[in-house]
Every structure is written in C-alpha cells, then in structure tokens.
Amino acid sequence: MSIRLKDLSKIGYTDNVARSLAINIISKNCKHNTKEEIKNTLTDILAYPENYKNDETWGRLAEHFAPTTYEKNFTVYNLLEQPLAFKTYGNKFIESLAKQQMELAMSLPITLSGALMPDAHAGYGLPIGGVLAVDNAVIPYAVGLDIGCRMSLTVFDAKTDYLKRYSHQIKEALKEYTHFGMDGGLTFAQEHEILDRNEFQLTPLLKMLHGKVVRQLGSSGGGNHFVEFGEIELIENNVLNLPAGSYVALLSHSGSRGMGAAIARHYSDIAREMCKLPRQAQHFAWLGLDTEEGQEYWMSMNLAGDFAQACHERIHINLSKALGLKPLGNVNNHHNFAWREEIAPGKFAIVHRKGATPAGKGVAGFIPGSMATPGYLICGKGGLESLNSASHGAGRAMSRQKAKEQFTQSALKKLLSQQGVTLIGGSVEEMPLAYKDIDRVMPAQESLVDIHGRFMPRIVRMNKE
C-alpha cells in the first residue's frame, strides 16, 4: 500500500524536503514492504536518525534529520595598511572603480606585485585588465569564471578577394560548424584527446563535468565570444615567419564554457570558507598551493584551459576543412588564468592575468578591437613592471546594460554596413561604440608589444543574446 502525504504528516514529517526524500525512497525500495512496516521505520528514523546514517536505503533521510557537522579549518587575514604600488598603462583610459579594485588587490598580505593594462575596467574581484603576482597561492576569482579564455588566429593560403567571392559559403560554414550560447553543442560528434584525460576521474566535480565537456567541445559561449573571418596584413619578419602581404584569416575568441564557470564557483566557495578576509575583499579569497584544495583547483584550472584550447582547435579544423582552406600558421594566447613565473631574478610567483595577455619577450599573441575595428598580431617585448603582460583587447567603454539602453539593433546594422562587416547573430551589447578605441589603446602599450600584423573582421558570427 502506498504512503500518502497525510500519513507522513501524522508521523511527524512536516517539512517538504523530508517528505520528498521519504516518498522517493519508498517508491524505489519498498515495493515489498507493508504500509505498517514502512510507517514503523519512518517513525524510528525520526526518533533515532543516527542509527540509520550508514544505511544504504535510508541514509539520506537520516542525514536530513541529523546533518553531519564537519570541523572547518579557516584562517582570518587582515589587509595591508598601505597597498603596494603598481604600474598603470594608459591611465587616462581607465575608470576609477577599476583602479580601486586593483588597489584592494595590492593590499592582500600575499601580494608581491601587480599591473593594470590600458583596456582595464571594473570586474568582480580583480578588475578586467588586472595582473597580480602572489606568493604560493591561487585566487579563483582573480582567474575568473571563463577559465583559459583565449584568442586563436589562423592565417590561410588565400588572398583577401576570397572573402567576397565565397562570402555565401563562409556564412553557411559559420552557421553549420559553430555553436554559441549557454546550452547544447554542435549537431555532430567532436573528437579530441582532451576527452580521454585522466584528470576527469580524479575529483567528483571533474567526473560530473565530463558529460558537459563532451557536449560543448568545439562550441563557443555568449557575450563577446565570436568566430570571424577577415583579412590580415602582415609586416616583414613577422612572428608567423610568413612573407609580408595580405591573407585571409580566421579569428576565434572563447573559453572553457560551463566547465570553467563550475570550477570557478566551486573553488571560490571553498576559498571563502578557508580564507576569511574583510567583507570588501572576500572575492580575493585564496587557496594555498601547499593545500589539497589549492592543488585540486590548479589541476582543474589547467584542464579547463586545455579544454578551451581544444574547442578552438576543433573550430579551426572544422571550418578550414569545410571551406577547403589550407592553414599556413596559427597564433593563440589565453587570459583568465594563473601561471607560475619568474617575476624577478630567482623570485617566482603565481601570476594571475584577468583579461590580460601574456607578453613575455618574443611571445606571440593577438589583441582584438571590436567587430568593426582592427585587431593586432603582436610580439611581446617582456618587462618586469608589466609582469610580462599586455591588454587582452580594446576593453569596454560602457557596460553591457548601458549599451543595451543606448544603442538599437538598426544602429548596429548601419555601423557594420558602413564598415563592410557582415554579422550573424550578435546583439547591441557588442556594439563597437561600447568599446574603447583600440587605436588609442595600442600606443599606450607600445613599450610592451610590437605589432606584426593588422586584422580587419569581415564576416562575424556571435551568439544572438
């Protein structure tokens, strides 16, 4: 006989969670028990939950009535009375809130050094465009939600007139071989060695995320993520070692999808439990790399970064095959990540780049503008003051919400038409006028990077928010 809600109420099961747990357990496990037997067991669990906590059938219900308490080890930290000094590039382009956030980061007792890039704007915890070196610890929120977000540029063996002659085929390929947004993935299976990585078996969180990784491989997120074809003009002696001239190129920008966000949230919560900071600095809670939790996050972060790279590899392989284009060279770089680097002779630190590009001496990378302005192929000059970093783009001049309030879809279409750009998807949040002028940002960091090529977008695919 079935147990009904009023039966449970009579026994003393008055809260909905207990009732739901009881009914689920009974329906799955008690088909051969009498109603009286079930009621007796439920009454006993309510009176003596500790006796049932290890019971395979009733353990979850018993745990609800008598939750196990764990001793939490945490440390309380104070901020430095005076924040450490940091170098700012393109100071006049940066809002005061971003500078305040950077000053707070420079007040952490583990901070060793920092810098602010010319595309900087306010974020959560560390500002976007902030670079922070700390001692033997990692700050999940200074890495960010979209772990390992990256740029990838492939230059093809095709002249720029290809973009006009085959514009229809390019648009169709972008629709068929890319996928954007929070859910789902491509309609055909993707293969990559990342799916077989052993790390996915090492923590409950990574085990749980593996199915999402399989579904999302080769896809892109929302916001400012894009896949676009355009033309690139390369200078002599460029980092790709290609002859100077104009080429067709494919540029993509996206990160570790739902995997990175889940890792960031999970370990940020753990960090806040272990590392107690003043309220205004809670986003900077860290995990020591000498702790099990810190090592787990570090492993998970690196796996998420490799997954982001795998997505770009699949995007570029799928599109080049679909269009019969021959790749001549690729440059890719990532941000929203932490690296162990030498920040002074013999002195190592964990360097967080939240929306900042690695720009060590001789390191190639790409800095985008917007969908209607140029992006630049760069080569880093290296520099201790900048912690071997540069901007990761032009940087937002206004928030997404402000852009939605200020611009219309028809204004966006008109601007793109004037610039000779075709957009598939996209929204007014990504209006080029919502970004700083990349050609003012680049001179502010000429001490950090050399320009080796200028890319202009022509056919752009984004999420339709």
Place of tokens 């080569």: 379
Cβ atoms 95, 398 nearer than 8 A: no
Q: pLDDT tens for residues 167-185?
A: 999 999 999 999 998 877 8
Cβ partners under 8 Å of residue 213, min gap 6:
194, 195, 200, 257, 259, 307
Place of tokens 């609800």: 64
Q: Across the strands, what pairs with 134?
A: 111, 350
Q: Is 261 left (phi over 0), alpha (psi -120 to 50) or beta?
A: alpha
Cβ atoms 14, 22 nearer than 8 A: no
Q: Which two tokens stand for residue 446?
A: 């000429």
Q: How far is CA 5 from the centre of its chain?
A: 45
Cβ partners under 8 Å of residue 387, min gap 6:
113, 114, 115, 131, 133, 341, 343, 351
Q: State how beta strands 449-462 and 287-288 pair.
A: unpaired
Question: Which long-range contacts (C-beta less than 8 Å, at least 24 apart) are formed by 143-146?
Answer: 143/264, 143/301, 143/336, 143/337, 143/338, 143/352, 143/354, 144/264, 144/336, 144/354, 144/355, 145/260, 145/261, 145/264, 145/265, 145/336, 146/221, 146/255, 146/256, 146/260, 146/261, 146/336
Q: Which of 60-74, 251-265, 367-381 has the lowest mean pLDDT?
A: 60-74
Q: pLDDT tens for residues 369-402?
A: 999 999 999 999 998 999 999 999 999 998 889 9
Place of tokens 């018993």: 62
Cβ partners under 8 Å of residue 419, min gap 6:
372, 432
193 vs 41, 105, 337, 404, CA distance in Å? 50, 37, 21, 40
Q: Across the strands, what pairs with 76?
A: 276
106 vs 130, 194, 280, 456, 460, CA distance in Å? 11, 36, 13, 37, 38
CA dihedral 95→415→461→377, nearest 10 degrees, is -60
- Is residue 256 pLDDT above 80, yes or no? yes
Q: pLDDT tens for residues 412-447?
A: 999 999 999 999 999 999 999 999 999 999 999 999
Cβ atoms 108, 79 nearer than 8 A: yes
Cβ partners under 8 Å of residue 131, min gap 6:
114, 115, 116, 117, 351, 352, 353, 354, 356, 386, 387, 389
Q: pLDDT tens for residues 86-135?
A: 999 999 889 999 999 999 999 999 999 999 999 999 988 899 999 999 99
Summary mean pLDDT of the chain? 93
Q: Which two tokens stand for residue 47?
A: 């009176």
Q: Which two tokens stand for residue 429?
A: 């949040």
Q: pLDDT tens for residues 344-356?
A: 999 999 999 999 9
What is the second-level CATH architecture of the domain 140-462? Alpha-Beta Complex (3.90)
Q: What distance in Å separates the CA atoms of residue 458 and residue 232, rounded to the nearest whole number?
A: 11
0.95 exceeded by the pTM? no
With bands split at pLDDT 50, 70 and 90, how would you rate the model's confidence at 70?
low
Q: How far is CA 369 from the centre of its chain?
A: 19
Query: Could you state, in order of their start, the residue ranges of all structural domains in the chain?
Result: 5-65, 140-462
- Is residue 333 pLDDT above 90, yes or no? yes
Give pLDDT, residue 316: 98
